[in-house]
Structure 1
Amino acid sequence: MADIIIKNAYVLTMDPDLGDIENGVVVIENGLIKEVGRSTGSTADKIIDARGCVVMPGLINTHCHAGMTLFRGYADDMHLKEWLEDRIWPAEAKLTDDDIHIGSLLACLEMIRSGTTSFADMYIHMDRVAQAVKESGIRAALSYGMIDFGSKEKADAELKEGSRFVSQWNGKADGRITTMYGPHAPNTCSREFLIRVKEQAVKDKIRIHIHVLETEAELNYMKENFGMCSIHFLKDIDFWGTDVLAAHCVWLSDGDIKILAEYGVNISHNPVSNMKLASGIAPVAKLIASGANVCLGTDGCASNNNLDMFEEMKTAALLQKVGTMDPTALPARQVLEMATVNGAKALGIKSGVLKEGHNADMIIVDMRKPHLTPLHDVASQLVYAASGKDVRTTIVAGKVLMEDFMVTCLDEQDILGKAVQTSKNLASRIDS
């Protein structure tokens, strides 16, 4: 007997072999997808009638700083240098383990509500992030953010902590947690440190998560200090590979794009954050045309304000259209691939498509809404008209985390109350 059968759904499989299935069925058993089709002979303990809804793979947020939910609206409308040095870094120095735990629970709650079933996170106090992921039931690829600023002593300590976290948490929470090494960026980590991180990651067979060319300032710094940009710098030390997830990648030349595609680097595009901080427009259309694997991320709430991947999809599509002055750039189906299939590939997880044998990570989107009517094209409607608020049900590893808009895996009111109080306490410590 199966665990769950979802019936009467428009099934957006994101599998080119299966295609979309109108009035379809999805069968879930032991955390995996057992069947996807037009009918089934299986029986299940739980039947979900998804009439008038779309069943689709859960969205995958490939670049996030979950604990930064506590900084939502804390430092808006500022230049990046002042934003970081005057507000964010001093505030982060005051964060405690408990702060990060509450902030991460709030992030998990927001993502579950808005249809994200997996996310990649790089931050501090990561044991408490992992604990929040474990408690919530969501899936995550977690990394401790490492910065050495050229100090051998700090480099040793950072790599030791990064290695401890990787070893302690990889495969935990019934396999929902995977770990990554998280060197912050080429301009905050020394050449020697980045070489050591790559060697350790290869030895441990663990992926790497890093910020790359988010800003023009980074580009100028690398050229002034190393005579080359971050892309060529990392190529020079044999850093690139299919095991690397590079966030942002805004300031790229055509030659940089060719390198990223050649080495199979995964690129996490963060359009809302890039726009809010005026970092620039990543050449996503060119990257995709080159064959690079481009996925989507929200970045943290200090530079985005929410974790809604539906909003990120729409913004990504519109930004490429206006950035290239081509209305055909990044069509709806392609941006859906970025948020599902491509994200799963970047994190090395068997999710992102509704297909037999894959993780039962999926969402049910209620299309019976005024702003989603009439329904001419499902993919277009999901990208250009839907929002995270339209997600009715969220399922991860075959477990229902939200059903009929009610979160079942966490005490929502308790988390909201604690988040408000925690943010107030944090603000008072920052100001003291």
Structure 2
Amino acid sequence: MTLNRNESNDSVGQTSFNVDQEPDVAASRRQFLKTAAVGATVAAAAGPLMPFGANAQPSGEQGSDGILSRLQGSETDRNRRILLKGGIVLSMDRSVGDFMNADVLIEGKTIRAVGPNLSAPDAIVVDATNTIVMPGFVNTHHHQFQTNTRGYFADAFYFTSGRRPDYRRAFMPGGIHEKYTPEDAYIGQLVGGLTNISAGVTTVCDTSQVSITRKHTDACIDAFKESGHRTVFVFTSGPGNAASMADYAFPQDIHRIKSQYFSSEDQLMTLGLGAFPPDVKAVFPLAREIKMPIYVHVTGAARSAVVEELGILADCTIIHAMDLPESAWRQIVDNGAKVSMSSVTEPTVANGIPAIMEVMKYGIMERASFSTDAEAFMTADFFSQMRGAFMLQRLLAVQLSDNGQRDVPRPITCREVLEMSTMGGAVGANLAHKVGSLTPGKEADVIMLRVDMINVWPITNVPGAIVTLMDTSNVDTVFIAGKVRKWRGRLVNVDMVKLLRSLETSRDQLFARAGWRVEPFGTCCER
């Protein structure tokens, strides 16, 4: 017995099967894709798959392009209302709940309501059929300026047993990071920010490390404004011999930066201070004096001891947090500090094993988050970060069990990974009061992930589909503070050709100044 696929205009892309006929099996299978293509044409004319609702966007002024024009044309209207209609809503707030078919109402830059069948007659209606509507991802540690050298250090190890230090040579004295001009910093930050938006990341903590001069710092901030991204600018020490340069102003320039760019809390940009172990004794007291959150890179017992002496408190987000002693974890747990894990980059460059098991052991998953580190050696794609953490935790648990250890941590779930990617990130960025969930009253940082695609359909488990199946191609639409930044798969108001040419030019000039060669088919590293 075979199943025959029957379609009509009335089905709107739905498939029905007739079991009463016995046609030739091979012929039926050979014809499937051909008939499906015809059906797809009919479905495209009538609307999307719509298994959970029927909210097809009309054509003309109310079609996709018309809706985008209305969204962009009304951005300055604080009372403008947007209704995301008929999506699979994953709120990441248990008090709000999740829905297989519901709406999200945005007013100005704020989420006003979440639930089924919301009424908003004056709203711009955005068809959310066949998408998962959820809060944007939060990336708590990204050196965005390194976008200019994307992929160069793909083969690099951070530590190389006495051989050339590979990636570290980039930021050591004489390295390529010293060669950045303010223009290089600007284009790297801009493309890095737009890359995050395109991947569904609506908030980034930019640990820049390129504040060589005040002009470099200002260029970074200009790029944040231009991208429309929600950014925590983590003012951090410059690379190599930057401290010897005439206009180097870390950390004292924090006062100018704060008064000039961050005098208001009602904006997309917020400010923090970054610290590495050589800087911590200067940074920690200053940050606490001016009530500034601290983002500090810490790995190993020796570095941890310096930070522990100053106090790992609630104002600290500990980046990496690998190989920390029990004493450090006790301060993190007891004092409410946060942890940022680079689940893919840390093992890739042999920096260490991400602290996912410790985070679960000490019960601080609600204060743990993921981060992408640097595109010089790994993608900023957050789906990769989530999958990396998901797989690594399970692998480590199996190894512990195989080695005979008792009380092995349970396997992490896809929802827990998503919680760390959204609310956990918001906590780590000190923005949980603004973003991280679709909670009414929070700002509307919302992403829409397409599910009517070959890589995820049918949707059997929503968190599982996002963590184990999706990639950046599923990121359909992105709103940040209620403003559309990506629409139906494309960044808005971005001259992509100009942008990419500018990035390539910057890359070429940087390599020339550093005396490095681009190796399209070679390797950065000694074998």
- Under a length normalisation based on structure 2, what TM-score does the superposition of the two structures give? 0.73
Please name the residue that 2:353 is paired with. 281
Aligned: 1:127 with 2:218: yes
Aligned: 1:321 with 2:394: yes
Partners of 1:203 and 1:375 in 2: CA distance? 50
Q: Give the letter aligned to residue 50 of structure 1.
A: A
Match of 2:500 among 406, 416, 422: 416
Give unpaired runs (5+ residues) of structure 1: 214-218, 220-227
Q: Give the letter aligned to residue 21 of structure 1.
A: F
Partners of 2:304 and 2:97 in 1: CA distance? 36
What is the CA-CA distance between 1:243 and the residue it aligns to? Answer: 1.2
Cα distance 1:207–1:120, how it changes in 2: closer, same or farther (>3 A)? same
Q: Is the 8 A contact 1:166 1:180 kept in 2?
A: no
Deviations along 1:224-255, one digit per CA (max 9) or x if unpaired, are xxxx63334322223x1111111111112344
Cα distance 1:27–1:392, how it changes in 2: closer, same or farther (>3 A)? same
Match of 1:175 among 259, 262, 267: 267
Partners of 2:316 and 2:458 in 1: CA distance? 41
Aligned: 1:200 with 2:304: no
Matches within 5 A, 1:335-414: 335-349=417-431, 350-414=434-498
Give unpaired runs (5+ residues) of structure 2: 1-78, 160-164, 211-215, 402-408, 517-527
Matches within 5 A, 1:177-256: 177-183=269-275, 185-186=276-277, 188-189=278-279, 194-213=280-299, 219=300, 229-238=302-311, 240-256=312-328
Partners of 1:28 and 1:164 in 2: CA distance? 35
Q: Give the letter aligned to residue 303 of structure 1.
A: F
Q: Is the 8 A contact 2:152 2:377 kept in 1?
A: no
Aligned: 1:298 with 2:372: yes
Deviations along 1:176-217, one digit per CA (max 9) or x if unpaired, are 00010112x21x32xxxx34422222222211111110xxxx
Give 3-state SS (helix, strand or coil) of 1:175's partner.
coil
Cα distance 1:172–1:113, how it changes in 2: closer, same or farther (>3 A)? farther
Match of 1:330 among 409, 412, 434: 412
Report the identity percentage: 27
Partners of 2:168 and 2:341 in 1: CA distance? 24
What is the CA-CA distance between 1:276 and the residue it aligns to? Answer: 1.2
Partners of 1:369 and 1:348 in 2: CA distance? 35
Partners of 1:160 and 1:255 in 2: CA distance? 31
Cα distance 1:279–1:395, how it changes in 2: closer, same or farther (>3 A)? same
Give 3-state SS (helix, strand or coil) of 2:221's partner.
helix
What is the CA-CA distance between 1:9 and the residue it aligns to? Answer: 0.4
Give 3-state SS (helix, strand or coil) of 1:371's partner.
coil
Q: Is the 8 A contact 2:449 2:475 kept in 1?
A: yes
Match of 1:83 among 166, 178, 188: 166
Cα distance 1:277–1:153, how it changes in 2: closer, same or farther (>3 A)? closer
Aligned: 1:101 with 2:167: no
Please name the residue that 2:342 is paired with. 270
Partners of 1:180 and 1:108 in 2: CA distance? 17
Counting matched residue pairs gives 411
Partners of 1:337 and 1:199 in 2: CA distance? 32
Cα distance 1:398–1:209, how it changes in 2: closer, same or farther (>3 A)? same
What is the CA-CA distance between 1:172 and the residue it aligns to? Answer: 6.1
Q: Is the 8 A contact 1:146 1:162 kept in 2?
A: no
Partners of 2:383 and 2:154 in 1: CA distance? 22
Partners of 2:291 and 2:475 in 1: CA distance? 35
What is the CA-CA distance between 1:364 and the residue it aligns to? Answer: 0.2
Deviations along 1:137-182, one digit per CA (max 9) or x if unpaired, are 1101012212699x9999x942212333333322569510001011
Partners of 1:102 and 1:167 in 2: CA distance? 24
Partners of 2:272 and 2:375 in 1: CA distance? 21
Give 3-state SS (helix, strand or coil) of 1:249's partner.
strand
Aligned: 1:26 with 2:104: yes
Deviations along 1:335-387, one digit per CA (max 9) or x if unpaired, are 10111001111112110000110010010000111110221110011001111
Please name the residue that 2:17 is paired with. none
What is the CA-CA distance between 1:18 and the residue it aligns to? Answer: 1.6
Give 3-state SS (helix, strand or coil) of 1:312's partner.
helix
Partners of 1:242 and 1:178 in 2: CA distance? 17
Cα distance 1:273–1:57, how it changes in 2: closer, same or farther (>3 A)? same
Q: Is the 8 A contact 2:308 2:328 kept in 1?
A: no
Deviations along 1:270-290, one digit per CA (max 9) or x if unpaired, are 011102111221231332342
Give 3-state SS (helix, strand or coil) of 1:285's partner.
helix
Cα distance 1:148–1:418, how it changes in 2: closer, same or farther (>3 A)? closer
Partners of 1:411 and 1:99 in 2: CA distance? 18
Partners of 1:37 and 1:2 in 2: CA distance? 19
Q: Is the 8 A contact 2:177 2:239 kept in 1?
A: no
**Higher-Rg member (1/2):** 2
Cα distance 1:330–1:166, how it changes in 2: closer, same or farther (>3 A)? farther
Partners of 1:207 and 1:302 in 2: CA distance? 26
Higher RCO structure (Cα 8 Å, ≥6 apart):
1
Cα distance 1:381–1:148, how it changes in 2: closer, same or farther (>3 A)? closer
Give 3-state SS (helix, strand or coil) of 1:146's partner.
coil
Partners of 1:207 and 1:109 in 2: CA distance? 25
Please name the residue that 1:222 is paired with. none
Partners of 1:395 and 1:168 in 2: CA distance? 27
Partners of 1:367 and 1:313 in 2: CA distance? 18
Matches within 5 A, 1:21-170: 21-81=99-159, 82-89=165-172, 90-123=175-208, 124=210, 125-146=216-237, 157-170=249-262
Q: Give the letter aligned to residue 308 of structure 2.
A: K
Deviations along 1:108-149, one digit per CA (max 9) or x if unpaired, are 121111100000011223322221111111101012212699
Q: Give the letter aligned to residue 382 of structure 2.
A: M
Partners of 2:123 and 2:418 in 1: CA distance? 31
After TM superposition, where is structure 1 displaced by more than 6 Å over at least 4 residues in a row? Answer: 151-154
Cα distance 1:406–1:76, how it changes in 2: closer, same or farther (>3 A)? closer
Deviations along 1:66-91, one digit per CA (max 9) or x if unpaired, are 11011112223233151244344410
